[in-house]
Amino acid sequence: MRNVVVVGSQWGDEGKGKIVDWLSSEADVVVRFQGGHNAGHTLVIDQKVFKLRLLPSGIVREGKISILGNGVVIDPWALLSEIAEIKKKGINVTPKNFMISESASLILPFHQEMDEIREDTAGKGKIGTTRRGIGPCYEDKVGRRSIRVMDLRSESNLDVRLENVLLHHNAIRKGLKKKIYKKDELKKKLLKIAPEILKFAKPVWLRLDNFKKERKKILFEGAQGILLDVDHGTYPYVTSSNTVPASAATGSGSGPDKIGYILGITKAYTTRVGSGPFPTELKNKIGESLGKRGKEFGTVTSRKRRCGWFDGVLVRQTIKISGINGIALTKLDVLDELDEIKMCVEYELNGKKIDYLPAASEDQFNLKPIYQTFPGWKTKTQGIRNMKDLPENAKKYIYALEDFIGAKVSSISTSPEREDTILIEDPFKA
């Protein structure tokens, strides 16, 4: 038995929701360990669609325990709204099946406003954030001035903590000629919702230690993708947290020795939301076709995703950085109608060939992809659940992809439906 970490190996939106739901049926505990309500997961269960933003995917399954770890930043109002929304669909969220780390930092209204101000004034330097206050909240966390879940327990402590964080933010807001936040008004709002938040607050690291002793299967659910990692992604066009699987340990209080298998969710082509470099982007009819067939719109923002060919160089790099053991290949069926399919196997930069993503943003924008071309299969793969039933050309593409990135394909998704999955290797038993 192994505990499993699920991460996206590209820029996010790889189809983690379906895979996590599929794995959570076998897991006992599902843990979110970074990010915030900027990460959307869409689940389709018994023809009922769930669009989760902050709640772990395990919440929709009876008998599972869902956790938000200390590495997650939590908008308390957004969390309570999502809980109310999911309850309307028949899902009960109680302290028995859901808990949040008492050490998690809270996203407050001025965080979201600062996010919006920066994006609106950035011009061509716009990052493409979801404008939900994630980055500014992480900044306060690193600056040791954030309000954490545990601060809601004491009015006097909350008073001191708010004074500290507002001293910083109001100075900036005054310089930008924005309204100054009044401590007492914000404190009143927080104290009003404090009981609803605190009933879920626990020492998550201790609960996880107990779960391990009880030999429960733990699934760590990552948000976004590794190419959005603040250290290893396409900086500065990245998120504000570490999205690599090592964060499962630091973002939950669980030792890295308790992680047994790392599963990288990998789309059969490539997509990206927002600004930033994208070497294999297709600004043509093929790109439009991939977006239409793949229904490439963000779960949280509904923004149209940019589409392109599979970038083997990038995925090979994220696999090496992250220690991914196997990949779950998703949306294979989106490629069904193409005459030919391309995979990036090298770049050209300033007339020279390179086989990795350079760190400088300027270089990343100037990369020219070098492709290997494969014949399409021109037949339906949607709903196939057995490897032997795939078209031969589809198998050839999968085997070539697997060989190039240096990681085995452990499963293949052939539709959004949970059951339409070809299982090659069970991460919990591998």
Active site residue 13: yes
* 327: phi then psi, degrees, rounded to nearest 5: -115, 150
In terms of Cα–Cα distance, which of 250, 248, 242, 241 is closest to 218?
248
Provide the 10 A C-beta neighbour count for residue 309: 24
Q: Are 101 and 149 in contact (CB under 8 A)?
A: yes
* 65-68 and 98-101 strand pairing: parallel
Q: Are 264 and 9 in contact (CB under 8 A)?
A: yes
> Distance between CA 124 and CA 363 in Å, rounded?
17
In terms of Cα–Cα distance, which of 207, 296, 220, 202 is closest to 11?
296
> Distance between CA 34 and CA 240 in Å, rounded?
10
Residues with Cβ within 8 Å of 323's Cβ and at least 6 positions away in sequence, in order, are 245, 246, 262
Question: From the candidates 21, 37, 41, 111, which is the catalytic residue?
Answer: 41
Active site residue 339: no
392-405 and 312-322 helices cross at what angle (nearest 10)?
50
Catalytic residues: 13, 41
